[in-house]
Structure 1
């Protein structure tokens, strides 16, 4: 089969769902994966409405389970004979801080947001070399700017950024283009899945309670004016079809401005002033 094939993780909601629809609209055979395929109804309904259901193949893939990853990638290549692109989108948010989080809490965040990217990318790379394909990973501006009460999440995203920025020039020598996509605030179920009760969280935060209340209030305002999942996904799809994709791309002007503070901040003072202001 001659159709180009893309595998996307985390497609049950949000950016992943919209990216799957966008790739299918662009004519790609789209393998839309998720940990629980019982949650695929929204994607399937949207694909029917968009007239692209015949290009979307829903499959199970748990990014934290290497066996699940390997099996899915092998099955996709066995079915379609090729793999031209991967979009690492699956992820999980987390709000907490060092004295309240356990080490196991931090490990769990790293498993989904960092090691999950590595599992999928490692399984896909031999096939992407064969097709001279694309490896695209949805990171976050939290992979550029460290943010209070997001230590574990930002650590995972920093790790993603460092790993893939390091990998990019090496992969390019074999014809594989690596890109990290950095959304800012996006209106999706990603934040809702964190599941925080603000009052209970502030009470449990002890001496950090007042700072957490201020942080949560500021975050609520930021997400009230958030970019839509569809707009963020359009940047992912544009990167997929770009003949010369960048190594790093932000999905909005707000994300570019935010990341730019860090990238121009050699001594860290600008970031400290910015994020410190969220806590009072």
Structure 2
């Protein structure tokens, strides 16, 4: 008998990653659900049991900013399952702030988690994906296509991921590996909650940027009031996982498609600037 296909997903303790792990397992995949802190696995494991897929989900530790952790996890997967058919890069962290007031270490940290973590994990997985003629699916963001106020570091990292994957895709295709990016908009998940933002303190420290930041926060809170659920955002990821030939770029909602279309069709950049300037005034 042919062994089930195996997918490794990063950042599965909550949100889109958790929902993607459940979706992959329901689709019959052996699902390696990874997270930096496996002590946070109980929510996923309970959901897996509730959905009747606990036997298809295996939790492993993987810290995307630690090459040793990535290598150890992949070695275990190959030793235990003999194959890796897909990688879903989902782990990430938001960063809110404007560059004049940010510590450069915070900018570097955003790049480490959101960009270099993706690069390192993809690089390590590619030999196994080549052998399986598999695929790489990376959760980016609409913020990887359209730069957003007070998200300079986060959007820079996500833009870098988009450029990296768009450049990798034709090369990977020559060795049988499909590459896809999935671009969610606002998602109601712990990704934002985990920021732990103290809004009054942020505004008090914002100095000349306080009016713009206040307008941005009000707009963003409204956007997240009508956000997709993690399961809705994960559904296109599972479609890309199971499709014969997934598209390179996929948005998770009609809103996200309309949003990124603003910049993809904006040759001189004016439409993006006209849009985002309304967020800060």
Q: TM-score range by the shorter chain?
A: over 0.9
Superposition map of 1:12-91 within 5 A: 12-91=13-92
Which residue pairs with 2:244 in the alignment? 243
Q: How does 1:1-280 map to 2 (within 5 A)?
A: 2-280=3-281
- Alpha-carbon shift at residue 181 of structure 1 (Å): 0.4
Q: SS at the partner of 1:240?
A: helix
The alpha carbon displacement at 1:140 in A equals 0.1
Deviation at 1:193, TM superposition (A): 1.1
1:198 deviates by: 1.2
Give, in angstroms, the shift of residue 32 of structure 1.
0.1
Q: Once the 2 structures are TM-superposed, how far is the Cα of residue 51 of structure 1 from its aligned partner?
A: 0.2
Deviations 1:35-70 (A, max 9, x none): 000000000000000000000000000000000001
CA RMSD of aligned residues (A): 0.6
> Where does the alignment leave 5 or more consecutive residues of structure 2 unmatched?
none
Shift, 1:79, TM fit: 0.5
The number of residues matched between the two structures is 280
Question: What TM-score comes out, normalization by structure 2 length?
Answer: 0.99
Q: Residue 87 of structure 1 aligns to a residue in which SS?
A: strand
1:205 is displaced (CA, Å) by: 1.0
> Which runs of no fewer than 5 residues in structure 1 stay unpaired?
none
Q: Any idea what the Cα deviations from partners look like across 1:6-54, whole Å, max 9, x if unmatched? A: 0000000000000000000000000000000000000000000000000
